[in-house]
Structures are given as structure tokens and as C-alpha cells.
Amino acid sequence: MTPLVLVHSAGATPAIWDPVRRHLKGIPTLTPALPGRLGAGSPSDDVAVHAEAVLATMDDAGVDRATIAGHSLGGGVALWLALNRPARVAAIGLVSTGARLRVRPEVLAALPGGLEEVAPAMAAANFPPNARAELLEARRREYSSVGGPTVLADLTACDRFDVLDRLWEIRCRAQVLVGTQDALTPPKYARVLAERISAARLIEYPDAGHMLPVERPAEVAGELAVLWAASLDGAVSGGGSSAVADRGSGWVSPSRTG
């Protein structure tokens, strides 16, 4: 079995992927919990520890290799695995993420003691202006349920993460998805990923924010289904010749909107 592993974001749980999974009929999925929630151990401020937790979930399920898609922090985990455990990774889906994930210092300073005070503003930053109130409230509740210490550890892991200078090492297929109104990991982050990963494809969603799995679940599911199916043929390897071959097959394309 080569499943699609869906890795959640900072201050979230695997439930963030539920809207997407409803559209992934017939595709085996795993949704690991990152450290600090749902019995997955103590919070961690290191993306490498989060990545090892994902590998442990794969091991428990008897999965040697998988397509790994991550949202935000989860995208950082997918990048880390593609760079440091490439034999376990068939392809990566990079959803609302970047090779660097800097966090505003004032947000880190307010946690964990001030989570309830800053959670509404944090939730609002996940969505475009004029987002529906129920979306904002659901995200605020999720931050609260995860708790201040875990949110702080997650965001610290994001802030310390930086693989910008190593993106050229990634040789597996990559699907890069971003909302044009994403204020947390803006489109310029996604474009760098697509430019520096040789077998990458970029898709930008007009008027969408940071929470693509919630805002555009059917579209995200469709793109990840294509990535998963393509990954069954094996990872791209080698240098420039393989990238040219992929471009010829139509896998790698210029960024598009919609």
C-alpha cells in the first residue's frame, strides 16, 4: 500500500484534513497527529521531531513509502522528509507552506499564557478579509483545544525551520498549492518552492487564504489525488534530464490560477 499521508498544521489536529478526505474516495490515507496532541507525546519545537512522529505512524501502519502532503507546518514536515528521508517519500504535496516559516515575534511572546487573548487575531490571519464568522470561530476553538504550550511549540518549530538553500536537492514530484490571499505563507513562498524543486507544479487559488483544506477542500483533494496517482510510478531521480522528461509529460507546468 502506498497511501497519501496528510500532515496537519500548527495549532491544529488531523481533523483539519477531514473536508479534504471526504473527497478522496478510494485513496488510502493516513492522518498522523503531531507531538503535543491526541496522545502523540510532548510538544516539540523541532520540525525533525514532528517528521519522526509521522514516520512512526507510517511504521505502525506497515507503510514503507508514501505520498506526503502537508499544510503549513505539515508542509515543512513534508519538505524535511523529502530532504532527509527520501526513500520514504514518493511525492510531496505542499499546501500553504514555505521553505522558511517565520512567525511574528509578538505572537511567540504572547504564548502560551496569552493564547485566549491572541487566538481570535491568529484565527483571523488564517483567512481572507470578510471570511465567514463560523470559519473564524472554528479556528479559534481549535487553537484553544490544542492549548498554549503546544501552539507555542508548533510556532517555534515553524520559526526555526529553514530549508531554503536545500530545495534543489528534492527530486520527487511536488504539488505546490497556495491561496492568493494567504497572509501567513504568501504566494511568493509557493513560487520559490516551485522554482527550486525540479519536478514541481504550482497552482494558485484566487481569493483563498491560508486554510486551503477548509476553504477549497474539493480542489485540494483533486490535486492531491493526481499527485498520489502519479507517484505510484516512482519518484523522479537524477538531474536535469528527468526534469525535462517530466515537463514533456505535462507534469511540470507553469503556475496557473484557478
Q: 50-77, pLDDT tens digit by residue?
A: 999 999 999 999 999 999 999 999 999 9
DSSP helix/strand/coil, 201:
strand
How many Å separate Cα 156 from the centre of its chain? 16
End-to-end CA distance of the chain: 32
DSSP state string for 20-36: HHTT-TT--EE-PPPTT
Strand partners, 30: 5
Assess contact for 215 and 20: CB atoms under 8 A. no
pLDDT of 257: 35
pLDDT of 248: 27
User: What is the pLDDT averaged over residues 228-236?
Assistant: 74
250 or 19, which is more confident?
19
Instruction: Kindly tell me the burial class for residue 139, based on how many C-beta atoms sit within 10 Å of its own C-beta (0-12, 13-18, 19 or more).
Output: buried
Assess contact for 67 and 96: CB atoms under 8 A. no
Q: What is the bridge-based pairing of β-strands 173-179 and 89-95?
A: parallel
pLDDT of 234: 53
For 17-45, b where at least 16 C-beta lie within 10 A, e where not — what string? bebbbeebeeeebbbbbbbbbeebeebbb
For the chain, what is the radius of gyration of the CA atoms? 17
Q: What percent of the chain has pLDDT over 70?
A: 90
Assess contact for 151 and 10: CB atoms under 8 A. yes
The least confident of 104-113, 175-184, 210-219 is 104-113
Q: 130-183, pLDDT tens digit by residue?
A: 999 999 999 999 999 999 999 999 999 999 999 999 999 999 999 999 999 999
Place of cell 516539540: 44
Q: C-alpha cell of 40? A: 502523540
pLDDT of 174: 97
